[in-house]
Structure 1
Amino acid sequence: MYNIKAAAKILDMPKVTIRSWETRYSAITPARTETGHRLYSDQNLEDLKWLKIQVQEKGIKISEAVKQLHSSKRKPIEKVQNPGDFDADTYDKQIYELYMAASELDTERFNYLLDLNFSLFHYRTVFFSIVVPLMVQIGKEWENGSMPVAHEHLISHIIQQRFTQFFRVFPTSPDLPKVMAFCPTGEYHQLGLMLFTLFLRENGFSVMFLGANTPLDGLAKIVEQQDVRIVCMAISDPSSRPLAEKYVAEIGAADKSVHFMVGGQGVIEPLTTGNVSFLGPTYESWQQELDRIKKLPLSKA
């Protein structure tokens, strides 16, 4: 739960606007403390963010945007738990609509459909059950030559922007170890890594996301300067494993207390040894690994 000051900072909105949309238009109904102060839930923030997009980017009047919001049949957050429980077939229509917009390079409609999906479903549902199957399909079309690489790059860029927006929403705890996340040189498939990074942010971790094709040069120095305690890597090609091991060796030599988490389809042998652990593909495995990591001594020697 967030007070109005935190909500205004997260949404980049004036507090007076939030109060106005709540009282004049009944856009949301925040909880109240015993002393009457407002407390905003994650769902409240998602609603306000959606309304902000409709008003500022779409030019819709706030009164009309609120009507659209209230008429949408939302899926309660409480029912969304494990992405592994999601049935992708349920969202075939949403995936198809986004795919058609992507294939036609209709970025305005693509963004509109993303906004609509985020307004109708929990963000975790959108990312895991709509965006992931969509990007897998687009990747296959690109590989077989039926979709130009420019299309794939553009849509991937839009999706990455959406992840970045959600990264900023979650507050981080200074008591948790800092994390660095990247794909090593030659690795460009970063969707899974972004999902895991979002998971870490949900759990309060401050994450430095460097993205795809990150060179080794200078990483050890960044780890030292920023006091990074956990380094996450994702590789999609088994041939990249020796390179990943080189990253672990060089960064680990500079600071032996750093823990490494390596995942992706390129990791054929899911073994946990020393300061390196395997990152599985499921949300449940992420939670188990996170619980284990929290018990490790990650402070500098």
Structure 2
Amino acid sequence: MSTYSIKDLEQLSGIKAHTLRIWEQRYNLLSPKRTDTNIRYYDDADLKLILNVALLNDNGFKISKIASMDEREIREEVMKLTERSLTHDDQIHALTLCMIEMDEERFDKILSSNILKLGFEQTMLNIIYPFMSKIGVLWQTGAINPAQEHFISNLVRQKLIVAIDGQLTNGGGKKFLLFLPEGELHEIAILFATYLIKSKGHKVIYLGQSTPNDDLLAVYKLHQPEYLMTVVTTSPSAEYVQEYINALAERFKDAKILISGYQVIGQDLKLPSNVEQLNYIRDVKDLLEEIERIPQEK
């Protein structure tokens, strides 16, 4: 069982810690436990309750009304709400609950429903990708455990692979070589980038997780792609990212290198002329649209 601080509850639910404490005192909504050293903490049941409360409160339920409902009534209202609501934040809340409960059936139902309503690309851009970015940060800060992050990542990965397999290219367009640095395993971003790139008719050479440098160079020499793309979430660590970027730029001088990830965005990096930083997945779409505006070489 995981334990959470009140700051963790705030990050996961979006409800300010000050508000949570008021709800504790006024409505007995939460009953924090204490460690042997008298430090307050919360468990999975508390987190699930607060996520449900946040969802209902955001949709017009008064906190006094929610506090009077039992666990079954709260869950029933949440289920009704997430099945009829198209609000992106509501869907992200619902997916966060699925992650905490490790409820694969419910997760798949929510995802499939949104894909039917919005289409795969819009579901990824507006719901899944913001959700994955959120839990990626929470995993980095220890607010959720690795098992929860892996559970969700694998479910999303399965959906992406199926969607990628459904994209056919006609052999035209540009060549993109997508890979993760050695030791890097978080591939959701480059899988979605693969989907976007292939959907625009470009060719993707996908090397995936933890690509050795020698293998990367060998594939590059064989295919001569115009673009290389990578995402740095955990490896290399922040103090080595600049060195890694410089080495890529020097090794692949004739390619445009696209780089993103937790260890890149918001860092004070000096990018070589052939390296471009992508801050959001939408930047990939913007890049592809820019390529489309440039007449393809015969």
TM-score by length of 2: 0.59
1:124 to 117, 121, 125: 121
1:229 to 226, 247, 252: 226
Identity %: 22
Verify the 8 A CA contact 2:260 2:278 in the aligned structure 1.
Answer: yes
Structure number, greater radius of gyration: 2
Deviates more, 1:104-113 or 1:156-165: 104-113
The whole-number CA distance in structure 2 between the counterparts of 1:169 and 1:186 is: 29
Equivalent residue for 1:196? Answer: 193
Asked if 1:167 corresponds to 2:161, the answer is no
1:184 to 1:296, Cα distance in 2 relative to 1, 3 A: farther
Verify the 8 A CA contact 2:249 2:274 in the aligned structure 1.
Answer: no
Aligned positions of 1:1-301 closer than 5 A: 90-236=87-233, 238-239=238-239, 240-250=241-251, 252=252, 257-265=254-262, 266=264, 268=267, 274-281=273-280, 283=282, 286-288=285-287, 291-292=290-291, 295=294
How far residue 170 of structure 1 moved from its aligned partner, in angstroms, is 2.2
Gaps of at least 5 residues in structure 2 are: 1-82
Give the alignment's Cα RMSD to 1 decimal: 3.4
Verify the 8 A CA contact 2:125 2:281 in the aligned structure 1.
Answer: no
Deviations 1:62-89, CA, capped at 9 Å, x for gaps: xxxxxxxxxx9999xxxxxxxxxxxxxx
1:295 to 1:242, Cα distance in 2 relative to 1, 3 A: farther
Secondary structure at 1:170 match in 2: coil
Deviates more, 1:165-174 or 1:271-280: 271-280
Secondary structure at 1:228 match in 2: coil
Verify the 8 A CA contact 1:98 1:113 in the aligned structure 2.
Answer: yes
1:278 to 1:101, Cα distance in 2 relative to 1, 3 A: closer
Deviations 1:23-53, CA, capped at 9 Å, x for gaps: xxxxxxxxxxxxxxxxxxxxxxxxxxxxxxx
The whole-number CA distance in structure 1 between the counterparts of 2:149 and 2:178 is: 22
Deviations 1:213-268, CA, capped at 9 Å, x for gaps: 32212111112223433211222464323113223323x2xxx5433222335054
Deviations 1:259-287, CA, capped at 9 Å, x for gaps: 32223350546877544333342626742
Gaps of at least 5 residues in structure 1 are: 1-71, 76-89
The whole-number CA distance in structure 1 between the counterparts of 2:245 and 2:187 is: 15
1:244 to 1:297, Cα distance in 2 relative to 1, 3 A: farther
Verify the 8 A CA contact 1:184 1:212 in the aligned structure 2.
Answer: yes
The whole-number CA distance in structure 1 between the counterparts of 2:247 and 2:270 is: 17
Secondary structure at 1:173 match in 2: coil
Deviates more, 1:144-153 or 1:185-194: 185-194
The whole-number CA distance in structure 1 between the counterparts of 2:246 and 2:292 is: 20
